[in-house]
Structures are given as C-alpha cells and as structure tokens.
Amino acid sequence: MAKIDLASLPVKTGSIYPAPYDALVAGRSSQRLGDAGGLTQFGVNLVTLAPGGLSSMRHWHLAEDEFVMVTEGQCTMVTDAGETEMGPGDCAAFPAGRPDGHHFINRTDRPARFLVVGSKAPREVATYSDEDLMVTVEAGRATFTHKDGTPYIAPKGDQ
C-alpha cells in the first residue's frame, strides 16, 4: 500500500442538499481519502473550508459515528453547547444517535481543513437541528423530508 497521493485526488464540490440549502455549503470542498485507499468499512474525507465556508447545516446522525480532527487553519465548531474554536490537532467525536447537531464554520481569512471519519450504515437518517429538514439515505439514495415526514419540495427558481 502506498502513501495516498493527495495532490492527485479529485476535489469534490457541490452538495446533495436541495435548494436553497445547497448554496450554504458553496465554500466547502473535499477529497475522499478512504475511497482512494480502497477502504469500504468507513469513510475518510479531507474537507477544506474556504474563508466563510460552512461544513454542513448543523446536523446529527442516527446510525453513524463521526470523528473530526482539524488539520489546518482555524474552525469554529457549533453544537447545542455553543461555539468552540478549534485548531490543528483538535478533535471532536459525535456518537450515533445523540441529538446534538454540529457543524464547522471558517470565520478566518484563510482556508481551514479537517479530516472527518464516518461509519457506513446501510440506512442513515441525519436531522438538521436548525431547520425543519431531515434526510434519509438508503441504497445510495437521499430523500429529504420535513421533520413530520412530509416530502421537502424545493422552491422553484428563476430558471
């Protein structure tokens, strides 16, 4: 097994979020290190937040453990407990099923990076703490609903 060649790995942008939420994470990009290394049992991504960038909407996972280590720059972690500044080497863990949403914001003027590890449940539900929105992911398909289970219909744009 060779060292993973980060410089040659594709940089993924975009989001599975429906409009208008997709615009929130425009400053986020990531590289899929675990996939690149042939791992199948958990995911490992290296996420870059541009200045002002947001990692995700604040959310918690029903079935999947998640772990984060900041590797570069400074991020602000937001949870129910409030805000925590995090720098290189700082870590946080988010056990499956604990309904305390989290996300990371880059409020600095230079890029920030973190490594994120997540298990791969066959069926996952993520709940967005600050919106009337949740997503169920099963067999590679993401379905967004309101918290009462009714479908989320994205507003029509100007197309």
Q: Quick check: 88 and 104 in contact, CB under 8 A? A: no
Report CA 76 to chain centroid distance, whole Å. Answer: 14
User: Under the criterion CB under 8 A, does residue 32 sit at the interface with a second copy?
Assistant: no
The C-alpha angle 104, 48, 111, rounded to 5 degrees, equals 90
Spatial distance between the Cα atoms of 15 and 100, rounded to a whole number of angstroms: 22
Report CA 52 to chain centroid distance, whole Å. Answer: 15
Nearer to a second copy by Cβ, of 41 and 159: the residue is 41
Q: Of residues 28, 59, 102, 103, which one binds a second copy by CB under 8 A?
A: 102
Site string for a second copy, 58-97 (x = CB under 8 A): ------xx-x-x-xx----x-x-x--x-x--xxxxxxxx-
Query: Which residues here bind a second copy, judged by CB under 8 A?
Result: 1-4, 6, 33-34, 36-42, 44, 64-65, 67, 69, 71-72, 77, 79, 81, 84, 86, 89-96, 98, 100, 102, 115, 117, 119
